[in-house]
Amino acid sequence: MTLATALKTGDLTQLPSRRDEDWRWTDLRGLIRQVPPASPAFDDDVAAGPFDGLAADEILFVNGRQRHAAASGAGEVVALRFVSATEGTAHAAAYAIVVEPDTTLVLLESHEGQAGGYFSDVTLDIAVGEGARVERIVLVDDDAEAIDVVTAEVDLAPGATFNQTVLTAGARRQRIETRVNHPGAHANVRLDGVYALAAQRHADQTTIVTHGGVDGVTSQLTKGVVDDQARGVFQGRIVVQPGADQTDARMGHHALILSDKAEVDAKPELLIFADDVACAHGNTIGALDDEQIFYARQRGIPEAEARAMLTQAFLGEVVERIEHEGARAVATAWVAARLGRAE
């Protein structure tokens, strides 16, 4: 029941629909009337990616096809790019990453729409070895008419650290799903997200963290801003399996709705099967605080600018948690651009 299966078989009944609990706010079956033709091979040059110049190695997929062989013994900073280059076509890609024990990896992942109305499905498998450290930064810049599903399955070994920040501006329909198998055992997970949506864009950030053993930490913070008729979706699920005691899991989702036609749907779930845990989630959805805007205007800042400033500061809290300095600068500029502010 995935987009990839439907693309492969052409069978629309394979698409997840509103009736599937985990897809109730991201209906693909109701939207897609027919599967577009498969994307052709694309050999021309593609424009530089958003993280250009930050990574020593680059793994590039264009229209679902890997361009050059994976860099072996990749360095500490790797750019992983998925480019959609042909209008109105569909492609799927899958990639696996193994991070050796006690090593460090910064994964600068980008999904770049360089054409209109494509379908893209990307599946990633990331295995993080014992004591290894991974920071994954995912920047999704899709075309407004694109349909994009990105699914990552992350397996952590004891003592591993996995930090992730997803930044997206949405698409016609978009889902970015991260599933983490958390072994406990002093492994540490941070899953963050930012969405800044306008026009009729839709973005769904879904995370599932399954704590399977004692002594695990998970911290999640997702923030979003929706304007016009956009729709933001956040689904976070933390599962604590029997015996996964001493789990410390925290999840926060906060959203601003800037227009009366925009929508935010949230489902922060806790499924707890062990008793010695500390789990919490918080969720707030609202508008910008009128008093803050009044304060700014009183100080001579025009209303539009005050709004942009407050919105940027709101999202900034998540961006600041990015550890890699270069990536943080890219993310900050990207957020500013989305909100119509030059950095």
Partner 1 sequence: MAAVKQTIETVAALEKYEHGFTSQIDQEFAPKGLSEDIVRFISAKKGEPQWMLDWRLDAYRRWLELEEPTWAKVSHPPIDYQDTYYYAAPKEKTGPKSLDEVDPEILAVYAKLGIPLKEQAVLAGVEGAPRYAVDAVFDSVSVVTTFKKELAAVGVIFCSMSEAIREHPELVRQYLGSVVPTSDNYFACLNSAVFSDGSFVYIPPGVRCPMELSTYFRINAKDSGQFERTLIIADKGAYCSYLEGCTAPMRDENQLHAAVVELVLLDDAEIKYSTVQNWYPGDPETGKGGIYNFVTKRADCRGDRSKVSWTQVETGSAITWKYPSCVLRGEGSSGEFYSIAVTNGHQQADTGTKMIHLGANTRSRIVAKGISAGKSSSTYRGLVSAHPKAKGARNFTQCDSLLIGKTCAAHTVPYIEARNGHSVFEHEATTTRLSDDQLFYCQQRGLSQEEAVALLVNGFVKDVLQQLPMEFAVEAQKLVAISLEGSVG
The residues binding partner 1 (CB under 8 A) are 21, 242-243, 255, 257-287
- Judged by beta carbon, residue 100 or residue 289, the one nearer partner 1 is 289
Helices assigned H by DSSP within the chain: 3-9, 290-298, 303-319, 325-338
- Judged by beta carbon, residue 97 or residue 257, the one nearer partner 1 is 257
Asked if 129 and 159 count as a contact pair (C-beta separation under 8 A), the reply is: no
Task: Work out the angle at residue 19's Cα, subtended by the Cα atoms of residues 13 and 23, and round it to the nearest 5 degrees.
Answer: 90
- Judged by beta carbon, residue 256 or residue 322, the one nearer partner 1 is 256
Minimum Å gap between C-beta 318 and partner 1 is: 19
- Distance, C-alpha 258 to centroid of its chain: 21
Rounded Cα–Cα distance for residues 36 and 63 (Å): 13
Minimum Å gap between C-beta 222 and partner 1 is: 13
Residues 6+ apart with CB under 8 A from 66: 59, 60, 93, 95
Minimum Å gap between C-beta 232 and partner 1 is: 9
- Judged by beta carbon, residue 47 or residue 304, the one nearer partner 1 is 304
Minimum Å gap between C-beta 268 and partner 1 is: 6
Minimum Å gap between C-beta 244 and partner 1 is: 11
Asked if 42 and 63 count as a contact pair (C-beta separation under 8 A), the reply is: yes
- Which class for 46: exposed (0-12), middle (13-18), buried (19 or more C-beta within 10 A)? middle
- Judged by beta carbon, residue 269 or residue 305, the one nearer partner 1 is 269
Minimum Å gap between C-beta 279 and partner 1 is: 4
- Judged by beta carbon, residue 12 or residue 270, the one nearer partner 1 is 270
Asked if 218 and 191 count as a contact pair (C-beta separation under 8 A), the reply is: yes
Asked if 319 and 194 count as a contact pair (C-beta separation under 8 A), the reply is: yes
Asked if 82 and 111 count as a contact pair (C-beta separation under 8 A), the reply is: yes
- Judged by beta carbon, residue 266 or residue 339, the one nearer partner 1 is 266
- Judged by beta carbon, residue 77 or residue 339, the one nearer partner 1 is 339
Rounded Cα–Cα distance for residues 115 and 85 (Å): 5
Minimum Å gap between C-beta 262 and partner 1 is: 6
Rounded Cα–Cα distance for residues 182 and 216 (Å): 7
Rounded Cα–Cα distance for residues 58 and 127 (Å): 19
Minimum Å gap between C-beta 198 and partner 1 is: 13
The DSSP secondary-structure symbol of 319 reads H
Minimum Å gap between C-beta 267 and partner 1 is: 5
Whole-number Cα distances in Å, 76 to 44, 65, 142, 187: 28, 24, 27, 20
- Judged by beta carbon, residue 48 or residue 280, the one nearer partner 1 is 280
